[in-house]
């Protein structure tokens, strides 16, 4: 087990170095960054001064070395627009995205898994058709369109939720979400829910026809126990990876949903920074999102090993 975790950990570190490499050279490939940053009417002296200030006059390997060195301490430079360290801006926006992603994940789990279980346990039934239909809609409806419809119906007409923005309330020193998170989280959850319905359904159906389930029945234990101990326990294993991957995707922030709802999260920040050509910020967000995904994948692998004894060795 320790060896397994250690080897996954080392792999993750290599992946993150790869990400840093790509993030750095992507910028180099866009040409001279300074020409993007400065007015077209600037004098050559001004351009040169800016190069000097930002360190672009140094050879590329030297720039890369200092980029890596700074990145390891969490320093991705200053946002050109906000004049603040890029990492601080990210950490500032992070709570909003975590709130949105966690709520969305919970919604998709609460809806998706039971629907998938009902569907996979009674294939061909009315409930199966209903669940599969819901899952299909979840995966195919564009979430930005759905978000607008939800705003129209629930905020504009019914007035149940705010149309945009994030509000919080504080209780015992904790910042807690309000109903403002419901609509964006629901729009975001729909795709993940659809995926969970489909994967849960196929996992349950596959496990149900396994030989060991027949063995469990042949022992004379009650159907309910066969279902929980033998079917669900095994069906849960493939779901771990779906949930891990989906949470990573949700945590890197959704550009569409956060923009539509003016949700002050990472997705919104990314959209803004790309628009502003705020390359330090773009680099920082790209790396940060990759870091989140890699970390979650690592946790998923560990959870997988805990759940399935066949993987531990």
CA geometry: angle at 45 spanning 39 and 51, to 5°?
75
Considering only 53-61, 81-89, 99-107, 303-311, which stretch makes contact with another protein by CB under 8 A?
303-311
Pick between residue 176 and residue 221 the one whose CB is nearest to another protein.
221
**Interface pick for another protein out of 234, 254, 273, 297 (rule CB under 8 A):** 234
Structure tokens at 231: 């079917």
Taking a C-beta distance cutoff of 8 angstroms, is the pair 285, 269 a contact?
Answer: yes
Q: Does 305 bind another protein (CB under 8 A)?
A: no
Q: Does 73 contact another protein by CB under 8 A?
A: no
The reply to whether 307 sits near another protein by the rule CB under 8 A is yes
CA 34 vs. chain centroid, Å, equals 32
- 40 DSSP 8-state letter: T
Distance CA 237, CA 64 (A): 41
CB of 222 to another protein, least distance (A): 6
**Residues in the chain, total:** 313
Cα 127 to the center of its chain, rounded Å: 30
User: Could you tell me the sign of the dihedral formed by the alpha carbons of 169, 175, 180, 186, in that order?
Assistant: negative
The answer to whether 233 contacts another protein (rule: CB under 8 A) is: yes
Four-residue CA torsion sign, 300, 303, 309, 313 = positive
Please state the closest distance from residue 311 (CB atom) to another protein, in A.
Answer: 10
Q: Is 179 in the site for another protein (CB under 8 A)?
A: no
> Whole-angstrom Cα distance, residue 190 to residue 135?
8
Residue 205 or 299: the one with the smaller Cβ distance to another protein is 205
Residues that contact another protein, how many (by CB under 8 A): 24
* Minimum CB–partner distance for residue 215 and another protein (Å): 5
- Positions 273 through 292 that interact with another protein (CB under 8 A): none
| Binders of another protein in range 204-223 (CB under 8 A) | 209-212, 214-223
Interface residues with another protein (CB under 8 A) are: 209-212, 214-223, 225, 229-230, 233-234, 237, 307-310
């Amino acid at each position: 087990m320790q060896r397994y975790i250690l080897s996954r950990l080392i792999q993750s570190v290599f992946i993150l170095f790869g990400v840093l490499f790509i993030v750095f050279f992507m910028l180099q490939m866009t040409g001279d960054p300074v020409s993007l940053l400065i007015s077209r009417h600037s004098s050559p002296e001004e351009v040169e001064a800016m190069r000097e200030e930002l360190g672009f006059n140094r050879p590329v390997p030297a720039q890369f070395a200092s980029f890596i060195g700074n990145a390891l301490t969490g320093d991705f430079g200053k946002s050109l627009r906000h004049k603040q360290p890029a990492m601080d801006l990210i950490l500032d926006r992070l709570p909003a995205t975590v709130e949105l992603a966690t709520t969305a994940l919970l919604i998709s789990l609460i809806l998706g898994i039971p629907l998938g279980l009902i569907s996979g346990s009674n294939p061909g039934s009315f409930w199966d058709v209903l669940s599969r239909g819901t899952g299909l809609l979840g995966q195919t409806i564009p979430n930005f369109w759905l978000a607008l419809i939800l705003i129209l119906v629930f905020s504009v007409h019914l007035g149940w939720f705010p149309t945009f923005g994030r509000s919080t309330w504080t209780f015992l020193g904790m910042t807690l979400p309000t109903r403002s998170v419901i609509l964006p989280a629901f729009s975001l959850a729909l795709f993940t829910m659809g995926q969970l319905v489909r994967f849960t359904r196929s996992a349950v159906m596959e496990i149900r026809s396994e030989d060991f389930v027949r063995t469990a029945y042949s022992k004379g234990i009650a159907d309910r126990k066969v279902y929980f101990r033998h079917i669900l326990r095994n069906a849960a294993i493939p779901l771990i990876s779906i949930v891990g991957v989906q949470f990573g995707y949700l945590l890197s922030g959704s550009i569409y949903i956060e923009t539509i709802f003016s949700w002050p999260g990472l997705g919104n920040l990314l959209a803004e920074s790309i628009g502003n050509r705020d390359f330090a910020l773009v680099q920082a967000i790209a790396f940060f999102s990759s870091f989140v995904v890699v970390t979650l994948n690592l946790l998923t692998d560990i959870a997988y090993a805990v759940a399935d004894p066949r993987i531990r060795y």
